[in-house]
Structure 1
Amino acid sequence: MSRHRFLTLGYRKEDNSIEEKLEPTPKQLQALYRRCVAVSNLMQPINVVRMDERSKRIFVLIGDTIEVEIFPNGEVFVK
């Protein structure tokens, strides 16, 4: 059995404290969706999608070299 139990409001850590679930903003979701559709139309793999807990930014690794950063206001930065 897993050491973590998932709850509606977040998850219970090993020390029994509850941490809030990290949720993207609607603008971030819209920007992420658009990028994912564009990338899949180009037949490129989306290798990693992760949300940074501190900065609240979404990071996407496309292929081996393209990095996309989506800010909470929906702005997109491509490296």
Structure 2
Amino acid sequence: MSAKRQESPRLQAGEYVKSRVYPTPEQTITCFILCQSVTSLFLPIFIVRIDERSGNIYILAGEETGILITRDGKWRYEE
């Protein structure tokens, strides 16, 4: 007896998955400034993601540069 695998709903053109957590105004400004600074160094940005549990934004740039932006807009490098 095999368990049936539930398929996730497919998105139609123009639809997107709604996140429950949105960035704060402070995070938005900090994220924009950091992304501009990173690309000025000619580093590619691979991921910009908000953690739905903590509300923090994570940016992965270049080979191994990780940046974490907290809800108050403060940021730090992640290892």
Greater relative contact order (CA < 8 Å, ≥ 6 in sequence): 2
Aligned counterpart, 2:24: 25
The TM-score with structure 1 as length reference comes to 0.74
Percent identity over paired residues: 31
Flag the structure with higher strand content. 1
Q: Which has the larger radius of gyration?
A: 2
Runs of 4 or more, structure 1, over 4 Å off, are 4-7
Question: Which stretches in structure 1 are left out of the alignment for 5+ residues?
Answer: 12-19
Give the number of aligned pairs.
68
Instruction: Give the drift of 1:78.
Output: 1.0
* TM-align CA RMSD: 2.2
Question: Which stretches in structure 2 are left out of the alignment for 5+ residues?
Answer: 1-7
Instruction: Give the drift of 1:25.
Output: 0.1
Alignment CA distance shift 1:22-1:74 (3 Å): same
Instruction: Give the drift of 1:4.
Output: 5.3
